[in-house]
Amino acid sequence: MMLFMINCYINMIYAFVYFGQLFMTLTPPHWCAAPNELFDSDLNLTLEQIKELTVPKDETTGKFAKCKMYQVNFTQVVGGNMSGPDPTWPNTTCINGWTYDFSLYYPTITSQLNWVCEEDWKPSLSQSLFFVGAFMASPVLGWASDRWGRLPIIVATNVMGGAAGVASAFTNSFVAFTSLRFLVGMTFDTHYTVVYILLLEYVSSEYRTIMANVPIMIFLTAGLCAMPWLALYLHDWSTFAIVIHASQVISLSFPWVVPESARWLLSKGRTKETVDIITRAAHMNKKSLTPEVIRELEVRGSF
């Protein structure tokens, strides 16, 4: 049950790591920022009036453009007491930056670094490189868990992924953010699958189906359902990144509470450690461990 609870915890972390970046790179509604002179208190213009005056609308949908603004002398326009914008005015790009609507959204790295319009490819590329990291590292880390054991890889991948994820919250450039998310991607999947394997290596065959699937069914689903509300509550992508990734550092305590795989130890001929773990498990579960069982483990470990 202890291993089961650890697996439940890792399933929630898995949901956070897998989908967390989507909530860091959301693109809030946006439009071209108006020139500063239109915010002069003497003009007495509301924000909606400024938006109506400076941003053209799409002829088909009637919605405000996201990447275009009128290219006119707005001081003269306001001084001329025009009732509204002229659709025939020339357009230009967002030379003053962008204005973002956070009424239903929150500040993300996309809005912080203006990954919109000509740079709207950056969030997608960053997400893709996250999975490139997973694709490249998963086979190597899978081999490493067979070479050096389950527990070291579980701790290493969670600590590395957690540290890179927290560090990504403090980045202010595309290269830095994407590089750190690539490192998180390298640990992704392995930080979960090795825990899953460890659980199954301790559970007898008649219980494996329920022990393997209940954490996914309940805790991974709970993590997915909680994540949007957590992001909305924290209302800041940096804080969100810190919260979801800092929880991975709890894995530093695993060497004291999570046993190494007895099956793996036995396959490496480390019989004494195997017997110690099985003895501790028997004591925890209030079961007796007969000398015959110990001798059988010692015989198996000698091959």
Least confident of 104-118, 210-224, 282-296: 282-296
pLDDT at 105: 92
Residue 88: pLDDT band (50, 70, 90) is confident
Backbone dihedral region of 189: left (phi > 0), alpha (psi from -120 to 50 degrees) or beta? left
Q: How far is CA 261 from CA 3, 101, 279, 294, in A?
A: 11, 51, 14, 16
Band of the pLDDT at 50, cuts 50, 70, 90? confident
Does 155 have pLDDT greater than 70? Answer: yes
Structure tokens, 169: 């919250």
Residue 79 has pLDDT above 80, yes or no: no
Q: How far apart are CA 85 and CA 213, in angstroms?
A: 60
Give the model's pLDDT for residue 273. 87
**Does the structure show a pLDDT above 70 at 303?**
no
Res. 194: pLDDT tops 60: yes
Mean pLDDT of the chain: 89
Cβ-contact 144, 153 below 8 angstroms? yes
The two structure tokens encoding residue 295: 């001798």
Give mean pLDDT, residues 77-98.
82
- Identify the band that residue 111 occupies on the pLDDT scale cut at 50, 70 and 90: very high
The pLDDT value recorded for residue 224 is: 93
Who contacts 230 (Cβ-Cβ below 8 Å, separation ≥6)?
240, 243, 244
Would you say 145 and 158 are in contact if contact means Cβ atoms under 8 Å apart?
Answer: no
Per-residue pLDDT tens over the stretch 161-181: 999 999 999 999 999 999 999
Q: pTM for this one?
A: 0.88
The candidate with the shortest Cα–Cα distance to 13, out of 266, 288, 251, is 251
Lowest mean pLDDT among 13-17, 130-134, 283-287: 283-287
Of 295, 298, 167, 301, nearest to 238 by C-alpha is 167
DSSP secondary structure of the chain: -HHHHHHHHHHHHHHHHHHHHHHHS----EEEPPPGGGG-TTT---HHHHHHHHS-B-TTT-PBPSS-EE-S-HHHHHHTT-SS--TTS-EE--TT-EEE--SSS---HHHHTT--GGGTTHHHHHHHHHHHHHHHHHHHHHHHHHHH-HHHHHHHHHHHHHHHHHHHTT--SHHHHHHHHHHHHHHTTHHHHHHHHHHHHHS-GGGHHHHHHHIIIIIIHHHHHHHHHHHHHH--HHHHHHHHHHGGGGGGGHHHHSPPPHHHHHHTT-HHHHHHHHHHHHHHTT----HHHHHHHHHHHT-
Average pLDDT (18-22) is 93
The CA distance from 192 to 107, in Å, is 30
pLDDT category at 123 given cuts 50, 70, 90 is very high
Q: How confident is the model at residue 22 (pLDDT cuts 50, 70, 90)?
A: very high
Q: What is d(CA 206, CA 18) in angstroms, rounded to the nearest whole number?
A: 30
- How far is 52 from 41, CA to CA, in rounded Å? 18
pLDDT band at 2 (very low <50, low <70, confident <90, very high): confident
Beta-ladder partners of 91: 70
Residue among 257, 256, 229 nearest 243 (CA): 229
Tokens representing 138 are 């998963």
